[in-house]
Structures are given as structure tokens and as C-alpha cells.
Amino acid sequence: MSANSSPKGEALNPRNKDQTHHSEPSAELRDDFALVQLDTRFVALLSEISAVESEHGREFGALGRQHPESGRTDEAQPTQTIESILSRLQPVERAIMATPARTIVGLGIKARHAAYVVSEHWDAPIEQIDWDARAVRLLIEAVCKVAGVRLPFTNEADL
């Protein structure tokens, strides 16, 4: 982690990979260049969503007060912002799924995306989730670990 970055930002950094597993990372990045670019966009959009959620924090769901002059709720703007980001995220996700991985770097990018899609598998400690979810979760975590790619969220269920 660099001195000027946060742990969360480092976790979402697509270039934050354990280089000890790769003999020539530049060649791997070249082979999966399209996926690396998509992952950069994916991570940036997830960061935008996280920023909106952080700004409105735990209060986001509880802000149902009406603004007298507009008749709109306090929730409307953050919801619209997140929906806008999600509409930009959808084509990136589809492209990640459609683009073949040629290296462990690309496979890690696809695993990070899969973790995002099935993030509910990280809602509880691993010993409390069903067998199928456990299998998926362990596979994704193993691929991410080998590829040196962090999950797109903090795995707090097992802390």
C-alpha cells in the first residue's frame, strides 16, 4: 500500500496484485489487456457507488423525510445517483463476462466480478452458509488469491 492511499482504495486497485506469482506480469497484462481495462472501469464504478453509500451512510435508508419545497424525499437523489452508476456498470459487467481470460490475471479479474455478482455468499461466516455457496465462495477466494486480486469488498463475515 502506498503512503498516499487508503486500504479500501488499495483493495479495489486492479493493479494491486501479488507479483511474486508472475514471472513476467507485463506479458500477462498484455495478454489480458481488454480485461484489465474493463476491470479498471469496474473498480472505478464500484468506488463511485461506495462513495455515494458512504456519503449517505447508514442514514441512507432512514432519510425518508420530505423536502417541503420539492416534495421529494432525501433518499431520491442518492438512489438516482446509484441507479445512474449501475446503468454504466452493466455493460462493463457484460463485457467482463464475455471476454475470455487468457492468463491468471484475467482469471482473477473474472473471479473478482463473480464475487461481486454473488456477494451474498460473504454475508455470513463460511461455516454458516450452505454447501453450494461455500463451494462457490472458496473457489472464488482461491482464484483471487492465486491471481493476487482482492475481493471487491471487505470480507467482514469471517473477522
Does 81 have pLDDT greater than 70? yes
Tens digit of each residue's pLDDT (9 = 90 or more) over 14-71: 444 444 444 555 666 688 999 999 999 999 999 999 999 888 874 444 333 334 444 4
Closest CA to 140 of 114, 117, 120: 114
CA distance 150 to 137: 13
Mind listing the pLDDT tens digit for each residue in 110-147?
999 999 999 999 999 999 999 999 999 999 999 999 99
Average pLDDT over residues 76-96: 95
List Cβ neighbours of 156 (8 Å cut-off, separation of 6 or more). Answer: none
Cell numbers for 46, please give them: 464500484
Distance CA 115, CA 6 (A): 21
pLDDT at 7 > cutoff 60: no
Band (pLDDT 50/70/90 cuts) for residue 80 is very high
With beta carbons less than 8 A apart as the criterion, state whether 12 and 43 touch.
yes
Contacts of residue 55, Cβ cutoff 8 Å, sequence gap at least 6: 78
Q: How much is the pLDDT for 10? A: 45
What local confidence, expressed as pLDDT, does residue 157 receive? 56
**3-state class of 66 per DSSP?**
strand
Which residue from 104, 110, 114, 113 is spatially nearest to 31, judged by alpha carbons?
A: 104
